[in-house]
Amino acid sequence: MSVSSPSEAVEAVEAVHSGPGGEPVLTVDGLHITVAGGRAEAVRDVAFTVHAGEAVGVVGESGSGKTLTCRSLLGVLPPGCEVSAGSAVLAGDGGAVTELTALDRRQWERLRGAELGAVFQDPASYLNPALTVGRQLAEPLRVRLGMTRARARERAVELFASVGLREPAQVYHRYPHELSGGMLQRVLIAIAVACDPRLLVADEATTALDTVVQAEVLDLLARLRDERGLALLLVTHDLAVVAEVTDRVLVFYAGEIVEDGPTQDVVHRPAHPYTAALLRVASLGDWNRRELAVIPGRPPEAGQAPPGCRFADRCDFAEDRCRTAPIPLTRTPGGRRVRCVRAAELTPILTAPPEEVPA
Amino acid sequence: MTTTTGRLIDPAPPAPEKTAPPTDRRALSVSGLSVAYPRRHGRGAGESVLRGVDLEVTPGQILGVIGETGSGKTTLARAVVGLAPVVGGRIEVAGIDVGGLRKRELRDHRRSGVVQYMFQDPLRSLDPDLTVADLVGEPLAVAGVERAERRARVAEALGRVGLDADALGGRIPAQLSGGQRQRVSLARAIVTRPALLLADEPVSALDASNRNHVLRLLDELRRDLGVAVVVISHDLSSLAGIADRIAVLYRGRLVEQGPTAEVLARPLHPYTALLTASAPRLDRDPAVRRDRPGRSGPVSGEAPAWAGEPGACVFAHRCPLAEADCRTQPGGSPHPGERSAACHHPVTTSADRLARAPRATT
Amino acid sequence: MRTLRRTGRMPAARVALAVLAVVALLAVLGGVLAPQDPLAQDTTRVLQGPSGAHLLGTDYLGRDVLSRLLAGTGRSVFGAVESVGAAMVLGVVPGLASLWLGRSFEWSALRVVDALMTLPFTLFAIAAVGVFGNGLHQAMLALGVLLAPLFFRVSRAAALGLKQAQYVEAAELMGASRGRILRTHIAAKVLPTIAVTTAHALATALLTVASLTFLGVGVQPPAPTWGGMLASDLGYLAQQPWAPALPGVLIMITVGALNLLADAVRDSGAAQAAEPAAGGSAGGTSTGAPDDVPAARDARERKADERVVTV
């Protein structure tokens, strides 16, 4: 597999970065989320910013806190979970800002769909099976944007066309069960972007789709980002998916951000051993028989994290100093952050592209 | 009731001429398999879900089955265990014609545990009220294995999948993590020491590390136990890591099959080329990615008018290479190296031709 | 089974069980505990209020109300249990069998049930008593026949859903027999549903015993039952307005406890259904945070999400 040299990759990323406007859309700072009625902390001190037109990927294993973080931004935390500290600020039109952690139910309902769009893994369960998909798209247009019935319908057909559904006028009259999984996900994306939100959160939106449809939906998300200047927060467990469409990637482990940086930079020169481990297990377009890599051990359970580095027990490079005190998230050159005391010395070791490591 | 579907099958047609060699060397042999679910109203078979599928798996071999949702992957596996209405063709598991089994024979065949089917979602296929030990031991209990021997074999099966029988044996599925649940499913499938294991999307609900873990277990099992494995997956790259052969299904037809690395690295069929081109990779920067070829196939105007006809090539409606001769469905013509592809234009450069074909925009 | 065990840990269920235990004790020992002969009439002291000799007063024939209530418990409760027991046998067995014994049995069973459901309760009991003779057993068995469709429908519906469960399909693939599938996979899950139905049916039967006695069907006077006492006391409402309250309260408490228990069983069954999602934190094996895996999504959670995209 021909790997473009890291420097080329970085240039490509910078070209993308200079494109979209730079003002922050979402600023999360010091976010803590507790689970089990406040008895355990599942997300600790998460801070990041999403700029307008930027696509940010959030990756991590099951239970890394990535989904909880994303749900807290949508106000749909599961029962027993709550934001215990920190802030998440969504910048609205004309300089208005909204503190997401302080919203009540009514305020959430005004915000969602209008300024925040969301797409989830299982599109069928978010659509009403008894209504045509067209109606489910036209309804928010009429309610939120005050469109007339005819105008909303016209706009809905336009939106269906813009998310790549063929024969949108016919699709308008279809019921959810008449559409395939890929088409439903497109319908859901159309609903999510109908009111021109500034931020679209996609929580494992392509995980259940097959390869070709997944690639198409990722293409669609990238295109919407380009055309509408939409900020994108893509939550997934597959680093390869993130590498496809994002500018920047946040790597979550056991409720903390362990690495943050430009995507191509991070996937080609991981600074944290956990990122390197994720890269080893990711689907990499390698078609050969090989020993599939796994990350040994299990992540610590919420509230039972060790005092030092939370990844230390599964890390090949852990030393005594890793286990004593919490590791800070340190800024490194190139707009990256990493939570590893040995990051500087490890980067060259971890950089060897995993696909070139002999099986 | 699901078990009755096997009885709907007409007596197996005379074996096609090519299944002459002794069958004991093959764990699974499928020839000319067609499956069609009955119409909801009225009589006769409805639309075909599988048409004329030929497959073979030898002991210790892993066959990967790929294809889009609705391509018939799951139906293929279900047909082998008698859960899908077979309307034509022949299925042999370890030399036994399973299509010909009736009531009692079918039950005895199932109790023997020669073939095991592993469901996609362990939360649904494992009884939520039973403990891990009971779940894994169930196939043995059904077959009437003594309690003491059962306990030993359950512990052995759990050990093989890397679970501690003493620590987890008393838990119920809800008390396990997703990866552990899938491994319990796997333990239940191998506890009967099957000759053939059919795994239906065993890893699609797992994260990357757990996915690789389960796939590695399958790899170990075929090596240690010599079990033949059919894995259905839509994750091409990790499947490529363990599978010896790959079969590609599209709309109920087997469009290509052959050794894994050859099929995926040098696809003969344009659909396989589309699949491999769509697989996510790390080194593709966003600008290049958007110019990827053949993603969505021809836009509605470009597909040939005859593309939907019953006799036409199933992939013609999306194929940028479709020509007049694609109006008839090509057979699975053999190619060097035990490969076959159902395409009139199976050229090794089809990936390149795809790239140069008119690009579809949505 | 886990549902029933869990039910035992719920406070509401414990209160209900305690009340029912007392009722059961009275049912068995009521006659012995009665301070006086419940049938002994004392015409010099009719319709008296509570006193040292008669703690709850006397009725229109001068019989001790407390003794009659205690002695009547057994007949009332056993009557209800008898009818519900009959209903369970006549309902649950064909209800489950209708799923496995083929189309013709299923069709016939469903038609019989439809026919039974059209019959009015009281009228059928009166007719049955007319044919088989007036007595508690006849009336109660007649009631049991009429309650059977309830059990039939409920157990059939519960099993119908379970029969299509993937783990049942998996068991069929192992070559498991119907009986085995029924025992290991179906019975334990249908049980909570049947328990709920039983509690409701017992309450219904208890009230029906009362109303039948009220009509003079079933228990013959002077034998005391709660319903019979309620009926006769109502005749002397002008003299003793509070008297019907005594048997009334007993019926109410028993029925209330049964309903409480039924609700508790149902709630713990619902809690169990939601458990796989909570497994991450409840099981303590995962990380406490909800799984990112699709299967582990809670239905409630999904509903919450639904608002996001549909509003």
Nearest CA in chain C to A110: C311
DSSP state of C64: B
Distance from CA of B110 to the nearest CA of C (A): 5
- Identify residue B350 by its one-letter amino acid code: S
Query: pLDDT tens digits for C203-219?
Result: 788 777 777 776 777 77
Give the pLDDT confidence score for residue A32 in this predicted structure: 92
Query: Average model confidence (pLDDT) for chain B?
Result: 80
Query: pLDDT tens digits for C132-142?
Result: 887 778 888 88
Is C270 at the interface with chain A, CB within 8 A? Answer: no
A158's enclosing H/E stretch is: helix A149-162
In angstroms, rounded to a whole number, what is the distance separating the alpha carbons of residues B198 and A41?
40
C25's enclosing H/E stretch is: helix C11-33
Query: Average model confidence (pLDDT) for chain C?
Result: 78
What is the percent of chain C where pLDDT is above 70?
84
Confidence of residue B1 (pLDDT cuts 50, 70, 90): very low
Within 247-306 of B, beta carbons closer than 8 Å to A belong to: 260-261, 264-265, 274-276, 278-287, 289-290, 292, 295-296, 299-300
Q: Is C106 a residue whose pLDDT tops 80? A: yes
Is B171 at the interface with chain C, CB within 8 A? Answer: yes
Range from B73-82, B113-122, B144-153, C262-271 carrying the lowest mean pLDDT:
C262-271
- CATH numeric code, C2-273: 1.10.3720.10
In angstroms, rounded to a whole number, what is the distance separating the alpha carbons of residues B349 and B91?
34
Interface contact flag, C311 A120, Cβ < 8 Å: no
Q: What is the mean pLDDT of residues B31-43?
A: 78
Distance from CA of B168 to the nearest CA of A (A): 16
Give the pLDDT confidence score for residue B147 in this predicted structure: 92
Interface test with chain B among C2, C103, C163, C166, by most B beta carbons within 10 Å: C166
Q: What is the mean pLDDT of residues A64-74?
A: 89
Give the pLDDT confidence score for residue A59 in this predicted structure: 92
3-state SS of C113-124 is HHHHHHCCHHHH
Any residues with CB less than 8 A from the CB of A3 and at least 6 apart, and which? A268, A353, A355, A356, B283
3-state SS of chain B is CHHHHHHHCCCCCCCCCCCCCCHHHCCEEEEEEEEEEECCCCCCEEEEEEEEEEEEECCCCEEEEECCCCCCHHHHHHHHCCCCCEEEEEEEECCEEHHHCCHHHHHHHHHHCCEEEECCCHHHHCCCCCCHHHHHHHHHHHHCCCHHHHHHHHHHHHHHCCCCHHHHCCCCHHHCCHHHHHHHHHHHHHCCCCCEEEEECCCCCCCHHHHHHHHHHHHHHHHHHCCEEEEECCCHHHHHCCCCEEEEEECCEEEEEEEHHHHHHCCCCHHHHHHHHHCCCCCCCHHHHCCCCCCCCCCCCCCCHHHHCCCCCCCCCCCCCCCHHHHCCCCCEEECCCEEECCCCCCCCHHHHHHHCCCCCC
Interface contact flag, A62 B178, Cβ < 8 Å: yes
Give the pLDDT confidence score for residue B357 in this predicted structure: 44
Domains of chain B: 2-14+25-249 (3.40.50.300), 268-356 (no CATH)
Domain ranges of chain C: 2-273
Any residues with CB less than 8 A from the CB of A227 and at least 6 apart, and which? A162
Angle at C68 between CA C63 and CA C72, to 5 degrees: 150
Q: Is C301 a residue whose pLDDT tops 70? A: no
Interface contact flag, C173 B126, Cβ < 8 Å: no
Q: What is the mean pLDDT of residues A178-189?
A: 87
Q: Is C289 a residue whose pLDDT tops 50? A: no
Distance from CA of B219 to the nearest CA of A (A): 9
Which is higher by pLDDT, A37 or C2? A37
Confidence of residue B96 (pLDDT cuts 50, 70, 90): confident
Q: What is the mean pLDDT of residues B27-50?
A: 79
Distance from CA of B353 to the nearest CA of C (A): 38
Q: Is B207 a residue whose pLDDT tops 60? A: yes
Confidence of residue B45 (pLDDT cuts 50, 70, 90): low
Compute the radius of gyration of chain A from its Cα atoms: 21
Query: pLDDT tens digits for B159-185?
Result: 999 898 888 888 989 888 888 999 999
Interface contact flag, C308 A74, Cβ < 8 Å: yes
Query: pLDDT tens digits for C18-36?
Result: 999 999 998 888 878 888 8
Confidence of residue B14 (pLDDT cuts 50, 70, 90): very low
In angstroms, rounded to a whole number, what is the distance separating the alpha carbons of residues C211 and A337?
78
DSSP string, C296-308: G--HHHHHHHHHH
Tokens for B104, please give them: 């009692």
Nearest to C305 among A61, A76, A237 (CB): A76
* Partners of B91 in beta bridges: B30
Give the pLDDT confidence score for residue B273 in this predicted structure: 87
First vs last Cα of chain B: how many Å apart? Answer: 44
Confidence of residue A20 (pLDDT cuts 50, 70, 90): very low
Which is higher by pLDDT, A343 or B292? A343
Give the pLDDT confidence score for residue B41 in this predicted structure: 61
CB C305 within 8 A of CB A126: yes
Interface contact flag, A286 B284, Cβ < 8 Å: no
Domain ranges of chain A: 1-115+197-359, 123-196
User: Residue C203 region, left (φ>0) first, then alpha (ψ -120 to 50), else beta?
Assistant: alpha
Any residues with CB less than 8 A from the CB of C220 and at least 6 apart, and which? C134, C135
In angstroms, rounded to a whole number, what is the distance separating the alpha carbons of residues B108 and B112?
6
In angstroms, rounded to a whole number, what is the distance separating the alpha carbons of residues B299 and B297?
6
Nearest to B208 among A223, A238, A290 (CB): A238
CB A309 within 8 A of CB A315: yes
Which is higher by pLDDT, B49 or C50? B49
C211's enclosing H/E stretch is: helix C188-214
Give the pLDDT confidence score for residue B337 in this predicted structure: 64
Q: How is domain A1-115+197-359 classified at the CATH fold level?
A: Rossmann fold (3.40.50)
Query: pLDDT tens digits for A280-299?
Result: 888 676 788 888 888 888 88
Give the pLDDT confidence score for residue B8 in this predicted structure: 42
Where does chain A show beta strands of DSSP type E? 24-35, 40-51, 55-59, 82-91, 97-99, 116-119, 199-203, 231-236, 248-253, 256-262, 330-332, 336-338
Contacts with A42 from chain C: Cβ below 8 Å? 287-289
Confidence of residue B135 (pLDDT cuts 50, 70, 90): very high
Give the pLDDT confidence score for residue B181 in this predicted structure: 93
CA neighbours within 13 Å on the CB side: how many for A283?
Answer: 29
Integer angstrom CA distances of residue B166 from A296, B131, B213, B299: 21, 12, 21, 58
Nearest CA in chain C to A36: C281
Tokens for B352, please give them: 């390149």
Interface contact flag, C295 B111, Cβ < 8 Å: no
Q: Is A101 a residue whose pLDDT tops 80? A: yes
Confidence of residue B348 (pLDDT cuts 50, 70, 90): low
